[in-house]
Amino acid sequence: MFRYIPFLLLALLLFITSPVSASDYEQQREQIIQQRESLKAEIAANVEKIDNLPEEEKEQAVNAVTKLKREDTRLAAYEKAYTKALGYESEVVYTSASRSLPFPIVDLKLGELVPGEFIPIYQAAAQQYGVDWNVLAAIHKVETDFSRHPTMISSANAVGHMQFMPATFRAYGVDGNNDGMRDPWQLEDAIYSAANYLASSGYKTDVRKAIWHYNHSEEYINKVLGVAAGIRGF
């Protein structure tokens, strides 16, 4: 039988929602590097087996290898994000000028700033759909702590990096990385889909209403806008 280790489950155990120290980030990055090495070895071993499999098993085997490669790509993004997080040497300090904003500021401490590797994705999606990149980043932070949530599945069964209900993703999900698929578990797809959903919900004319469509809660809207203001501050 063609078999592969469920690296997705192993990787998700690494991402916790509570604040962590720089040493924790280094340890988690090293664990990811080790997982990627094992993953690449399994990919290579399984690729070698494909030619010797019966025809009826080859398609399943190729699909399994594709899933492994996608998981390696996902882990690579996290590895880069942790590397970037380790580069932050001080906390962000906000001035009293920020207090004039009509929503609370959320301080982003060491290790909680926007992962630098994600910013170009937010910005590209924001430009394409006419939304603000810092709002996309704030939703990512509020929903899954920049994809560090242990399971990235909510109690309401919203899934993926940006927490889409399956029906909503079917309606508004887009192929952000041009690989021919729409997947809420794929980072670019999730971010571009969130931008598309906000734009389709009237972001250009009413930001709060568009965010309300994402989550029907005034508290949620204020929290997202608060985080967005903090992100814009740096």
Would the pLDDT of 95 be above 50? Answer: no
The string of pLDDT tens digits covering residues 46-87 is 888 888 888 888 888 888 888 888 888 777 766 765 565 555
pLDDT higher at 6 or 74: 74
Once rounded to an integer, what is the mean pLDDT over residues 174-179? 91
Q: Give the pLDDT of residue 194.
A: 97
pLDDT higher at 15 or 62: 62
Extract long-range pairs of 121-129: CB within 8 Å, 24+ residues apart. 121/176, 121/187, 121/188, 121/191, 121/192, 122/191, 125/176, 125/188, 125/191, 125/192, 125/194, 125/195, 126/195, 128/192, 128/195, 129/192, 129/195, 129/196, 129/198, 129/199, 129/203
The string of pLDDT tens digits covering residues 100-115 is 333 334 444 444 578 8
**Hey, how many other C-beta atoms are within 10 angstroms of the C-beta on 176?**
23
120: closest CA among 159, 79, 85, 81?
Answer: 81
**Hey, how many other C-beta atoms are within 10 angstroms of the C-beta on 111?**
18
Give this prediction's pTM: 0.55
Would the pLDDT of 9 be above 60? Answer: no
pLDDT higher at 90 or 173: 173
Once rounded to an integer, what is the mean pLDDT over residues 203-207? 93
29: closest CA among 148, 159, 190, 152?
Answer: 148
Once rounded to an integer, what is the mean pLDDT over residues 124-139? 95
- In CATH, 96-233 is 3.40.1160.10: no
Q: Which of 20-34, 35-49, 66-80, 163-177 has the highest mean pLDDT?
A: 163-177
Domain ranges of the chain: 7-85, 96-233
Once rounded to an integer, what is the mean pLDDT over residues 128-147? 94
Dig out the tokens for 51 from the structure: 């030619």
Q: Give the pLDDT of residue 65.
A: 83
